[in-house]
Amino acid sequence: MAESICRSLRDGALEGELAPTLTIKDSLASPFSFNVFSHILLQLSSQKSQSHGIVIVALSRSPSFYADFLKNKGVELSSSNKWIHILDCYTDPLGWKDKARKSGNVNVVSDQISLATSSYKSVKDMDKLFLAITDLGRGLVGENKVRFCVAIDSLSKLLRHASLQSVAGLLSNLRSHDQISSIFGLLHSDLHEERATAALEYMSSMVASVEPDHHSSENCLSEKNFTQGKFSVRSKRRNGRVRETSEKFKVEAEGISFASISAEDGTTVAGLLPKVQFNLQLSEKEQIDRAKVVLPFEHQGNGKPIQIYDGRRSLEESSGEGAPISRCKNEDSALGEIIYFRDSDDEMPDSDEDPDDDLDI
């Protein structure tokens, strides 16, 4: 659910834990991850959260875009210097314009942006990027235990410039930094090898996938695919379980809206488990109950002879006549006798014994 993702990001990291990280994944069939990204950005800017500042690493959109976006959504920008800062890796990521300017040929026009922006010119160097992000963040929130949040415009762009190892290293350093409250970034999964996507999913605590609706996957050009689709989230909970949720989303002029899916699409659990057996063991309560059961042929140790109900008389009558019935069999010879003729002479004498004599009835 988009709501629960925003809530987890707002709640941020606990002491000694890695920061929650969200990766928003999409593909060409349903390329709306930026809408989700901006939706989350808006939620984090407008609502109360653990983080007191946001650092946006802008790689695929210019800082002025963000300024306009926030202004259109009604976020007040005058005091924005205190809580938002953009690391501009869009204008000149590799420092070429700088070099061109130094050689004197090009005049670079810088636009006025109402958001605090710092330009960053060496996107290939992840260590420097990490330092830049943390410096900016610390500049926003100060040195104490106050935390800030990091939004990476496009992990795909980062992967274009740097190797998977360094991007993964950057993410892991960000996650273990004690002043970072949460991280979210977007990824276009069809631009990369599966390994890269798997590695980034491994490092995130929540993975949100933007997918087309199932039934319209045949005709990708249908109009429906341009406005709506399925939004599924897999989040790793603290207890080690994985929560998977799905929603429908719809992209409109004002933004993106989420609605829950009516029909359940149950995943089969069958493949996960081997054959299971029935439980033959007892819980503690069941053991206690079993110990309490009075077995019919056992002395309970209280000196009374056992009442055995043999079904022929009602219980009140048997209280008077219970005594002769329950005595050992040796005594009923008064009522009748059993005369036994041996079958043959070489039968073992032991077979005469009544095996029931061993029992303690």
Partner 1 sequence: MAATRTRGSSFSRNVSTVTSQNSGLKHGPNGTTFLSSGIPDLDKILGGGYTLGSLVMIMEDAEAPHHMLLLRNFMSQGLIHKHPLLYASASRDPKGFLGTLPAPASAKEDKTRDLTNEKDLRIAWQYKKYFDPQLNISSNNGAQQDYCNDLDLRKPLDRHFYSGMNVGCVSIQDSPDLASLQDQCAKFLSQFSRNEANISSAGRIAIQSFCSPQCKFANMEWHMLSFIRSLKAMARSSNAVVLVSFPPSLLSPSCSKRLQHMADTLLSVRAIPDEDKEMAKLLTGYQDMVGLLNVHKVARLNTQVPVILETTTFSIKLHKRRYLVLECLNQAPVDGSSGSSYNTSGSCSGSTKAGSLDF
Residues that bind partner 1 (CB under 8 A): 164-165, 168-169, 171-173, 176, 195, 198-203, 234, 236-237, 239-244, 266-284, 287, 295, 297-299, 357-361
* Locus of tokens 């924005």: 80
Q: Smallest gap, in angstroms, from Cβ of residue 284 to partner 1?
A: 7
Q: Smallest gap, in angstroms, from Cβ of residue 279 to partner 1?
A: 4
The smaller minimum CB distance to partner 1, of residues 139 and 169, is found at 169
Using the Cα atoms of residue 251, residue 255, residue 259 and residue 264 in order, give the sign of their dihedral: positive
* Locus of tokens 């087309």: 212
The smaller minimum CB distance to partner 1, of residues 76 and 178, is found at 178
For residues 212 and 220, the answer to whether their CB atoms sit within 8 Å is yes
Partners of residue 184 on adjacent β-strands? 22, 151
The smaller minimum CB distance to partner 1, of residues 223 and 331, is found at 331
Report helix, strand or coil for 296. coil
Q: Smallest gap, in angstroms, from Cβ of residue 300 to partner 1?
A: 11
The smaller minimum CB distance to partner 1, of residues 70 and 196, is found at 196
Nearest CA to 75 out of 44, 40, 46 is that of 46
Q: Smallest gap, in angstroms, from Cβ of residue 170 to partner 1?
A: 8
What is the C-alpha to C-alpha distance for residues 53 and 32, in angstroms, rounded to an integer?
A: 25
The smaller minimum CB distance to partner 1, of residues 316 and 353, is found at 353
For residues 54 and 45, the answer to whether their CB atoms sit within 8 Å is yes
The smaller minimum CB distance to partner 1, of residues 103 and 283, is found at 283
Q: Smallest gap, in angstroms, from Cβ of residue 295 to partner 1?
A: 7
Nearest CA to 22 out of 3, 38, 37 is that of 37
Q: Smallest gap, in angstroms, from Cβ of residue 145 to partner 1?
A: 18
* Locus of tokens 């977007």: 186
* Locus of tokens 């670079």: 108
For residues 33 and 25, the answer to whether their CB atoms sit within 8 Å is yes
What is the C-alpha to C-alpha distance for residues 196 and 317, in angstroms, rounded to an integer?
A: 84
Q: Smallest gap, in angstroms, from Cβ of residue 254 to partner 1?
A: 32
Rg, Å, the chain Cα set: 38
The smaller minimum CB distance to partner 1, of residues 95 and 169, is found at 169
